[in-house]
Amino acid sequence: MATTASRQTASSKQARGWKTRRWMLGNYLFILPFMVFFLTFTVFPVLYAVYMSFHDWAILAKEHPFVGFQNYAFLLRDDFWWLTLRNTLYFAFLTALLNTVFALVVAIAVHQPIRFRDFYRFIFYAPVVLSVAVMGVVAGWMFNTQFGIVNYYLTWLGLPAVKWLADPNIVIPTLSVATVWWGFGFPMLIYIAGLQGIPTHLYEAAHIDGANGLQVTWNITIPLMMPSIFFVAVTQLIAHFKVFGQPYIMTGGGPGRASFTVIMYLYQTAWRFFRMGYGTTIAIGLALVILFFTLVQFRVFGRSSTIEY
C-alpha cells in the first residue's frame, strides 16, 4: 500500500514537473525573437568592440596586430580625451539637472485643473518630435550672435548682445539650454504619470489642515514623486553623456575645443582617421564612466526613491 502510494505521488510530481516545463518552454519561445535580436545586435557588438580595443585596428589595414592594454594606457595619457570628458561631464550634469527640475515644475503646473491644460501639454511636448538635426539648426539660428532672435530681443531691451556660441565660457550652458528646450517634454510626461498616481485624499487632508500650495508641493508631491525623479535623473544623465548632434551641428566642437565631446572624439578617431581600435577604447572608457556615475546615483538616491503610501 505504501509502495503504491509513493509511486502515485512520484508520478504526480513528475506530471506536474512536465506541465511546468511545457509552460516555461512556451514563455521562452515568446521571448526567443527578442533574445535573438538582443544577442545579435547588442551583446555581440559589445563583445566584439572589447576585442577590437585590444588590437591596433585600422579599417584599411589587412592585419590587426594585438597590442594588449596599450590603447587603454594611451587613453589615460591622452590630454584630448580628458578635455572632451570634462566637456561631456559639464554638459551632462548641467543638462540632466535642468531637465529634471524644469520638467517637474512644468508637469506640476500643467497637472493643475486649468483651462487649455491639454493644449499646454501638447505645446510643451511638441519639440521632442523634432530630430536633433532640426533642433540643432533652429537653436543655432536662435543663438546666433549676428542675427539670432535671442540677441535681437536683448538689444531691443537695451541689453548688449551675447556671443552665445562663440564664447568658451558659456557655450556649453547655451547648448544645455537648447537641449532642455528640445527634450524636457519627455520627462514631463513621466512626471505627469507619477502625479496622476498620487492619492487625492492626501491633498484633501492637507487642504483641510490649512496647508498652502507650496507646503503641499514640498511635503506631499515632491516626496511621493521621488521614484519618478530618480528615474528621470538617471536616464537623463545617461542620455546626455552620449551627446553628439547638438555640438556637432551648432558649434562643430568650438570655439576652439570648448564644446568638443567624447562622442565627437570617438567619431573623429574611428570614422575620419579609421583608428577603430582606439575608437572602441574611447567608447568603452565612456561606458565605464557612465556606469560609475549611474552606480553612484543608485547608491546615493536609490533608497530615498522607494516610498510607500
Reported confidence tier of residue 86, pLDDT bands at 50, 70, 90: very high
Distance CA 300, CA 39 (A): 32
Shared domain check, 284 and 142: yes
The pLDDT assigned to 14 comes to 63
Q: What is the mean pLDDT of residues 214-243?
A: 91
The pLDDT assigned to 83 comes to 96
The pLDDT assigned to 141 comes to 93
Shared domain check, 85 and 28: no
Q: What is the mean pLDDT of residues 298-304?
A: 75
pLDDT tens-digit series, residues 157-202: 999 999 999 999 999 999 999 999 999 999 999 999 999 988 888 8
pLDDT tens-digit series, residues 49-72: 999 999 998 887 788 899 989 999
Shared domain check, 274 and 141: yes
Shared domain check, 9 and 126: no
> How many domains are contained in the chain?
2
Shared domain check, 172 and 122: yes
Q: Is the pLDDT of residue 308 over 60?
A: no
pLDDT tens-digit series, residues 71-82: 999 999 999 999
Shared domain check, 245 and 110: yes
The pLDDT assigned to 79 comes to 95
- List the single range of 20-34, 133-147, 153-167, 208-222 with lowest mean pLDDT: 20-34
End-to-end CA distance of the chain: 55
**Mean pLDDT rounded to a whole number for the chain:** 88
Q: Say which residues have a Cβ less than 8 Å from residue 282's Cβ, sequence separation at least 6.
A: 75, 81, 262, 265, 266, 269, 270
What single letter denotes the amino acid at residue 92?
A: A
Q: What is the mean pLDDT of residues 19-33?
A: 78
Q: Is residue 64 part of a domain?
A: no
Which has the higher per-residue pLDDT, 137 or 15? Answer: 137
| Nearest by Cα to 187 from 108, 105, 104 | 104
- Which structural domain, as residue segments, surrounds residue 109? 70-305
Q: Which three cell numbers stand for residue 186?
A: 519627455
Q: Is the pLDDT of residue 110 over 70?
A: yes
- List the single range of 139-153, 197-211, 238-252 with lowest mean pLDDT: 197-211
Neighbours of 36 (CB within 10 A): 10
Kindly report the pTM of this predicted structure: 0.87
Shared domain check, 172 and 125: yes
Check if the beta carbon of residue 136 is closer than 8 Å to that of residue 246: yes
Reported confidence tier of residue 309, pLDDT bands at 50, 70, 90: very low
Distance CA 250, CA 37 (A): 35
| Residues forming a β-bridge with 275 | 58
Q: Is residue 58 part of a domain?
A: no
